[in-house]
Amino acid sequence: MENEIKIEIEFRNILDTDRNTQFKIRDWRNHYGVRKYLFNTNIITKEEHSNLLVSLKNNNEHLCFIAYKNNIPVGVVNTIKIDAINKQCDIGIFLNTDYFFQGLGSHIYQQFIEYVFSNLAIETINCEVLDDNISSLKLHRKTGFTEDIKRNEIIHYNNKINIHLFEISKQTWLTIRHKKNKQLSI
């Protein structure tokens, strides 16, 4: 349709980006608005971040990409725990908080799912979300993931909270992706 404009997102492996960008994402990751929703809420030190970058070299189980919109880095997406035998992985996302709540996370996430199923030998994508992470819960539900729940699973900021287990298969994604892309068009 004429009024449908899709936001194009480009994914670049973090190892192929410049040093400045590689380290800028540490600031995004350490922002309280991001880390409060992660399983590890600690501030990541420069040294830990450097170690992460080294560990990503020749790593078949963890891939990290920077998401660019109009050539500007806006967020980070990861595939972790890539299990080549069972063809599954976990994925994660966080944005630079400057871009929160504008619909960008939904665009990036859906395009990353498309990217993973198109470029990696993956049949199932999983993601675990903390109970108080409302925007991520909404993001997964509207993207078409199935949902299960582990109650009172972890202590997070001194509270026992639930973890939501989301899963989507390649087969499901291929069936619903056109509808999802259309819903995201503006």
Contacting positions for ligand COA (CB under 6 A)? 34, 37, 92-95, 100-106, 127, 129, 133-136, 138-139, 142
- Minimal distance in Å, beta carbon 2 to ligand COA? 23
Angle at 139 between CA 127 and CA 3, to 5 degrees: 135
Nearest to 91 by CA among 115, 57, 58, 55: 115
Using an 8 Å Cβ cutoff, are 122 and 88 in contact?
yes
Nearer to ligand COA, 54 or 135 (CB): 135
Residue 98: φ, ψ to 5°: -60, -25
- Minimal distance in Å, beta carbon 4 to ligand COA? 17
101: left (phi over 0), alpha (psi -120 to 50) or beta: left
- Minimal distance in Å, beta carbon 128 to ligand COA? 7
- Taking CB atoms, the residue at the shortest distance from ligand COA is 105
Angle at 48 between CA 46 and CA 49, to 5 degrees: 65
Nearer to ligand COA, 22 or 106 (CB): 106
- Minimal distance in Å, beta carbon 15 to ligand COA? 22
Nearer to ligand COA, 49 or 100 (CB): 100
- Minimal distance in Å, beta carbon 161 to ligand COA? 13
Nearer to ligand COA, 15 or 128 (CB): 128
Spatial separation of the C-alpha atoms in residues 96 and 76, rounded to whole Å: 8
